[in-house]
Chain A
Amino acid sequence: MSGSAVVFTRKGVLRGARDAVPLVIGTFPFGLVVGVISDAKGLSLLETLLMSALVFAGSSQLLALELWTDPAPVAAATVAALVVNMRLAPMGAALAPWLDRLRGLRLWGTLSTLVDHSYALSAAEMRRGGRDAGYLLGVALALWCFWLVAVGVGHVAGAVVRLPPGHPLYFAAIATFCAILVPVWQGVRRDLAPWLLAAALSLAAWWLGLAAPWPLLAGALGGAALGAWLEMRRR
């Protein structure tokens, strides 16, 4: 991909926001849960919304809330966020073909919104030859708005919206990433072995009882390394 033609337009932001709408089915129930638990842990609505707006990473918020005490566990919550969100670091690096063309607020501001979904849709968009880096920001901004609404509703409605554990709706979050994998697939020769290794390593780490994010990082880095090794050997 020649990076010289990469742009950052309002049109790209809007297209990203539109493409993010279906993802809300998966993120909304998760946001409700975060809101309900924040309420149960004694956070005010303002504190809950502030955390969701500034951190904007559901799984790290859930983990921090599980550790929550009164007074608030400043160090433990910070470490939890660092460990759970470590998975985002390689995503930012992988988006370099777009990000390298941005400067200042567009670059560092867009990075502040990076989430799994915006990375996944943008990686697929990049592969299709997309050159509008505004797309990355658009997906994330739409999800951010819906995230605040979902967390707020969860906090206000408290126990009323409490879905029982194991409710089928929770599966929407996992289903989102299964569906996103389809456009990422580029054929048996390139992807089969790395994807199988990623699954095997993540499952092995999970069976060993390792906590997040280690199964994810082991599978992701192991699979990607195998993919790179196979590709460089073929050349």
Chain B
Amino acid sequence: MTLRLDVLLAILGMALATYLCRAGGYALFRAVRPPRFVEVMLQHLPGPIFVAYVAPALATHGSKGFLAALAVVAAQAATRNLAAAIAAGVAAIWLLGLVI
């Protein structure tokens, strides 16, 4: 159970940087009321941010990545159950891995 000073400093540096990211966007938004366009943009952010998150990740899996993503979306739309949808995705990528 050691805690070295250099490691502690690196951890604190990472923690501080991460908190700056977490709180900084909101703090800036509060200090300077953004133009209307930016406010509307933030309402549109959730979809594009997660699309942009998954698209390259799926591309690394090739066609079976996109097929498994379809299975996830279909399972989520049909069951409205997140656990079922995630399980469907893992099952799909495993089965597709056996075939493709």
A interface residues, Cβ below 8 angstroms from B? 21-23, 25-26, 43-47, 50-51, 54-57, 60-61, 64, 71-75, 77-82, 85-96, 99-100, 108, 111-114, 116, 119-120, 123-124, 168-169, 171-172, 174-185, 191, 194-195, 197-199, 201-203, 205-206, 215-225, 227-229, 231-232
Q: Which of A111, A174, A175 has the most CB of B within 10 A?
A: A175
Check if A228 sits within 8 Å of B37, measured CB to CB: yes
Check if A178 sits within 8 Å of B26, measured CB to CB: no
Check if B21 sits within 8 Å of A93, measured CB to CB: no
B28 contact set on A, CB distance < 8 A: 89, 93
Determine how close the nearest CB of chain A comes to the CB of B28; give it in whole angstroms.
7
Determine how close the nearest CB of chain B comes to the CB of A117; give it in whole angstroms.
10
A60 contact set on B, CB distance < 8 A: 14, 18
Determine how close the nearest CB of chain B comes to the CB of A69; give it in whole angstroms.
10
Check if B90 sits within 8 Å of A171, measured CB to CB: yes
Within 8 Å of chain A (Cβ to Cβ): is B9?
Answer: yes
A217 contact set on B, CB distance < 8 A: 52
Where chain A touches its partner, the secondary structure class is helix
Check if B21 sits within 8 Å of A89, measured CB to CB: yes
Where chain B touches its partner, the secondary structure class is helix
Check if A228 sits within 8 Å of B24, measured CB to CB: no
Could you pull out 27 A-B pairs where Cβ atoms are within 8 angstroms?
A: A43-B7, A44-B1, A44-B2, A50-B3, A78-B16, A82-B17, A93-B26, A93-B42, A94-B46, A100-B30, A112-B23, A123-B45, A171-B61, A172-B86, A174-B54, A175-B69, A175-B88, A181-B51, A182-B73, A182-B76, A184-B50, A203-B55, A216-B53, A219-B48, A219-B55, A224-B48, A228-B38
Within 8 Å of chain A (Cβ to Cβ): is B99?
Answer: no
B76 contact set on A, CB distance < 8 A: 178-179, 182-183
Check if A74 sits within 8 Å of B10, measured CB to CB: yes
Check if B41 sits within 8 Å of A228, measured CB to CB: yes
Q: Which of A56, A60, A99, A171 has the most CB of B within 10 A?
A: A171
Interface bits B22-66 vs A (CB < 8 Å: 1, else 0): 111110111000101110111111111111111111110100010
Q: Which of A44, A60, A185, A199 has the most CB of B within 10 A?
A: A199
Q: How far is the CA of A91 from the CA of B30 in the complex (A)?
A: 13
A sample of 7 more A-B contacts (CB under 8 A), given A43-B7, A171-B61, A220-B53, is: A47-B8, A81-B15, A90-B45, A93-B29, A116-B53, A178-B69, A178-B73
B87 contact set on A, CB distance < 8 A: 25
Check if A44 sits within 8 Å of B3, measured CB to CB: yes
Q: How far is the CA of A89 from the CA of B18 in the complex (A)?
A: 10
A47 contact set on B, CB distance < 8 A: 2-4, 7-8, 11
Q: Which of A75, A168, A221 touches B97 (beta carbons < 8 Å)?
A: A168
